[in-house]
Amino acid sequence: MTGRAYNFNAGPAALPLEVLQQAQAEFVDFKDSGMSIMEMSHRGAIYEGVHNETQALLKELLAIPEGYQILFLQGGASTQFAMIPMNFLQGRTGSYVHTGSWADKAIKEAKSFGNVQIAATSEANKYMNIPALSTLNYPQDAAYLHITSNETIEGTQFQQYPDTGGVPLIADLSSDIMSRPLDVSQFGMIYAGAQKNLGPSGVTLVILRKDLLGDVPKSVPTMFRYDTHLKNNSLYNTPPGYSIYMVNLVLKWIKGKGGLAGIEQLNREKTGLIYNAIDTSEGFYTGCVDADSRSMMNVTFRLANEELEKQFVKASEAAGFIGLKGHRSVGGLRASTYNAVTRESCEALSAFMAEFQRVNG
Ligand code: PMP
């Protein structure tokens, strides 16, 4: 293939071309140091400058209030599924909203560490909706309420977040962080693997309200303790410096797009093109999830039968589209329209869908 693909991968996913080009230009000799950023000490001034600037950019773009700390961790969002109960449960109950595949993984992991309660589940509806916030039911002395902001596989997304009062709200934002404005003060903690909206894989962003950290049992290993990373500004051990540098470039790119309000506008337009292709297809395409729970990041849809879906994937690949096959656990089709997926890609997909329907409808 020549040029850039129409990349709808679910993660790792498209990165902004401008970011890749800047990284390329700086690859061999970063800031006249005579070396790439991958080759320098994480204790040196140049790397530390990037590290701290990345935190400052996050603070600015997300308007993070005082009292929170930004951490750059490793092990992906999946490691957070364990770190959260390890650091916060301590004999108390962790409450979870069960919205689909990723919530399920978080719940299963937490069960190894203590008492888990389900505040609501959309299982009866095959995870095709986000439960109404008014139906959430959790103990007022729960250690936290955990939600999965965007279910990457099913294609649902919280449109609003619950007001949990005194119970800290913890959210997995792996697949929708920085896609729209966020009121961080609503949360005790948010976390996200970088490889969808923030940069390459290898770094996990955690934003944590510092006063939530109580005494963590000595049995919790050093690297699995938030306090270790908090005290050391995420430099207790060697950080994933190259990934953090890429996040830095992506954040500057987001700033250039008008910050999160600008990005949200773009995302709404992009995803709107694809949902519109589904909704105007007179049933040729059907959206998988309830209209009021539709994700602005992962558009999931189906055709009349699996054979036709296979044909769609094949024809789309021949036309230069990547990543439209749904997750193997649920089948169907999925277009992931993260921040860096261009409007042009979405226009091309919408036109492709109309043409495929014309030929096969
Ligand atoms: N949570 C969500 C919502 C995800 O989409 C993913 C990855 N697709 C994960 C968690 C797991 O992330 P990681 O691969 O970084 O562990």
Structure token digits, residue 309? 């879906």
Is 253 a known active-site residue?
A: no
- The pTM of the whole model exceeds 0.90: yes
Section 330-346 average pLDDT:
97
Structural domains of the chain, count:
2
Asked whether 170 and 145 are in contact (CB, 8 A), the reply is yes
Ligand 1 centroid – CA 350 distance (Å): 27
348: domain range?
258-360
| Res. 3 pLDDT band, cuts 50 70 90 | confident
Q: In this predicted model, what pLDDT tens digit does every residue of 216-231 receive, in sequence order?
A: 999 999 999 999 999 9
Of 72, 74, 78, the one to substitute when testing ligand 1's pocket (max ligand atoms within 8 A of C-beta) is 78
Peptide bond into 12 cis (omega under 30): yes
**Residues 345-348: contacts with CB under 8 Å, at least 24 apart:** 345/6, 345/7, 345/8, 345/14, 346/270, 346/271, 346/273, 346/274, 347/273, 348/6, 348/320, 348/321
Of 152, 156, 170, the one to substitute when testing ligand 1's pocket (max ligand atoms within 8 A of C-beta) is 152
Boundary (domain end) residue, out of 256, 277, 312:
256
Q: Whose CA is nearest to atom 4 of ligand 1?
A: 174
> What pLDDT score was predicted for residue 1?
53
From 176, 196, 253, 325, the catalytic residue: 196
Q: Whose CA is nearest to atom 3 of ligand 1?
A: 174
Indicate if the pLDDT at residue 310 is higher than 60.
Answer: yes
Section 254-264 average pLDDT:
98
Q: Are residues 50 and 197 in the same domain?
A: yes
Q: 66 lies in a domain?
A: yes
What is each CA distance from 86 to 110, 140, 142, 148, 224, in whole angstroms?
A: 8, 20, 14, 18, 8
Section 44-57 average pLDDT:
98
Count Cα neighbours of 181 within 13 Å in the Cβ-side half-sphere: 9
Q: Which atom of ligand 1 is nearest to the CA of 150?
A: 3
293 C-beta closer than 6 A to ligand 1: no
208 C-beta closer than 6 A to ligand 1: no
Between CA 35 and CA 17 the distance in angstroms is 23
Three-class DSSP category at 93: strand
**In CATH, what number is assigned to the domain containing residue 281?**
3.90.1150.10
> What pLDDT score was predicted for residue 305?
97
Strands across the sheet containing 286-287? 286-287, 298-302, 333-336
Q: In this predicted model, what pLDDT tens digit does every residue of 125-174 receive, in sequence order?
A: 999 999 999 999 999 999 999 999 999 999 999 999 999 999 999 999 99
Q: Are residues 41 and 177 in the same domain?
A: yes
| Res. 45 pLDDT band, cuts 50 70 90 | very high
Q: Is 4 annotated as a binding residue?
A: no
